[in-house]
A and B are shown apart, each in its own frame.
Chain A
């Protein structure tokens, strides 16, 4: 994957994000978070732009971007699906839930579907062990999951996403 050119509108958005954080190098993480929230990943060009505008060495921005798991340098899907693989969820069958999700979305954990709709990730604990196995889709916490529920959950979520998309449009 070569250098990805970001759209002009994204460029303006990054400029806006830097401005709203006060052009301050102290706000680096906050700026990166905003860009990540906006574009679902941190494009190379965005990092270069941020480094230039904040007058920081690129490696410092890159170091922060690679250090935190919340940042991704690879493009992410529109919907983030996270499976908890913590001890409690694991013993209650998180592995099977993950397998089912991988099968349904036809991707491995850590990847994104070809149509850029879903990203599937694992996480080590979300702190809701009593409700395990946990699956989180776009910030919605779904407890006591099992492989059989996965299909319906994805279906319901897909319908909901489409509805909210229509409302926005």
Chain B
């Protein structure tokens, strides 16, 4: 067991627990997009950053991949964390401006405009679908292709892979895109599971985000 302090409250958690899990077990809300309890933590979305206090200094670290250890002092909601999270949300929004989940997050955190250039890629490269396919479905049909700015989630040579069982899990688990699949036919889909392909309406009932994402030349739902 290790004892650590989160937001001034001392807690004891089993060794090997991550700071995110420890905080959540105490009821502290930390937003995440790329975290799923059943899958390996990946630390891609950076939304779960917390401030780790080390003496007079502190650093921002992703809590989903940060193991808890004895004497750790964590602050989950300081001004610095809030400011960093806002910028992260803005950055995520600039790659996925139409995502309802991101717009709701922006609304919650008071992000009113995106200062970055909007490039709608429909994917934040969080790797949830890749991990789901590999770890949960034991399949490994999809994965990351390329590197740097051209990195994307896809299948090998653009074909539906033999490993794919059309479970549709990749679309189901995608945190930002109501539908990660961009294909309009079954054969060349992300996973091949697009039998029920239909355009998805987003944000028709949501009130919060009508005033969330600002007016710099992109769609406001």
Task: Write the chain A residue with the least CB distance to B155.
Answer: A59
In the bound complex, residues from chain B placing their C-beta under 8 Å from that of A57 are 134, 139-141, 143, 161, 163
Residue on B with the closest CB to A68?
A: B147
Q: Report yes or no: B147 in contact with A62, Cβ–Cβ below 8 A.
A: no
A44-B157, A47-B156 are contacts. A59–B142 as well, Cβ < 8 Å? yes
For B37, what are the chain A residues with a Cβ–Cβ distance below 8 Å? none
Q: Do the beta carbons of A60 and B140 come within 8 Å of each other?
A: yes
> Within the assembled complex, what's the spacing in Å between the Cα atoms of A56 and B157?
15
Complex contact B156–A61 (CB within 8 A): yes
Residue A63 is within 8 A (CB to CB) of chain B in the complex: yes
Asked if A142 is at the interface (CB within 8 A of a chain B CB), the reply is no
Q: Does B217 contact A (CB under 8 A)?
A: no
Report the separation of the CA atoms of residues A67 and B154 in the bound assembly, to the nearest whole angstrom: 13
- Interface residue B2 (Cβ < 8 Å from any Cβ of A): no
Q: Which residues of A contact B154 (CB under 8 A)?
A: 59
CB contacts (< 8 Å) of B147 on chain A: these are 66-68
Contact with A along B127-141 (1 / 0, CB 8 A): 000000010000111
Q: Cβ of A44: which chain B residues have Cβ within 8 Å of it?
A: 157
Cβ–Cβ contact B146 & A59, under 8 A: no
Across-interface contacts of A61 in B (CB, < 8 A): 156
Closest chain-A Cβ to B181's Cβ sits at a distance in Å of: 16
**A156 close to B (CB within 8 Å):** no
**Is there an interface contact between A62 and B157, defined as CB atoms closer than 8 Å?**
yes
Chain A residues whose C-beta falls within 8 Å of the C-beta of B146 in the assembled complex: 66-67
- Residue with the greatest number of chain B CB neighbours at <10 A, chosen from A59, A60, A61, A67: A59
- Secondary structure of the A side of the interface? helix
Give chain A residues whose Cβ lies under 8 Å from the Cβ of B162: 58
B217 to chain A, nearest CB (A): 33
Q: Does B145 touch A at the CB level, under 8 Å? A: yes
* CA–CA, A58 and B143, complex, Å: 9
Instruction: Give the CA-CA distance A60 to B140 in the complex, in Å.
Output: 8
Q: Chain A residues with Cβ under 8 A from B116's Cβ? A: none
Q: Which residues of chain B come closer than 8 Å to A63, judged between CB atoms?
A: 143-145
Chain B residue at minimal CB-CB distance from A3: B157
Note all chain B residues with C-beta closer than 8 A to A58: 156, 161-163
Contacts of A62 in B (CB 8 A): 143, 145, 156-157
Nearest CB of A to B127, in Å: 12
Q: Give min CB distance, A144 to chain B, whole Å.
A: 31
Q: A56 — which chain B residues lie within 8 A by C-beta?
A: 140
Instruction: Report Cα–Cα, A42/B156, bound state, in Å.
Output: 13
Q: What distance in Å separates the Cβ of A20 from its nearest Cβ neighbour in chain B?
A: 24
Where the two chains meet, the residues of A that have a C-beta atom closer than 8 Å to any C-beta of B are 44, 47, 56-63, 66-68
| A–B Cβ pairs within 8 angstroms, 21 of them | A56-B140, A57-B139, A57-B140, A57-B143, A57-B163, A58-B156, A58-B163, A59-B141, A59-B154, A59-B155, A61-B156, A62-B143, A62-B145, A62-B157, A63-B143, A63-B144, A66-B145, A66-B147, A67-B144, A67-B146, A68-B147
- Point out residues on B near A: beta carbons under 8 Å: 134, 139-147, 154-157, 161-163
- Given A59-B141, A59-B155, A68-B147, 8 further pairs, Cβ under 8 A: A44-B157, A56-B140, A57-B161, A57-B163, A58-B156, A59-B156, A67-B146, A67-B147
The 7 closest A-B pairs by CB, nearest first: A57-B140, A62-B156, A59-B143, A58-B156, A63-B143, A59-B156, A67-B147
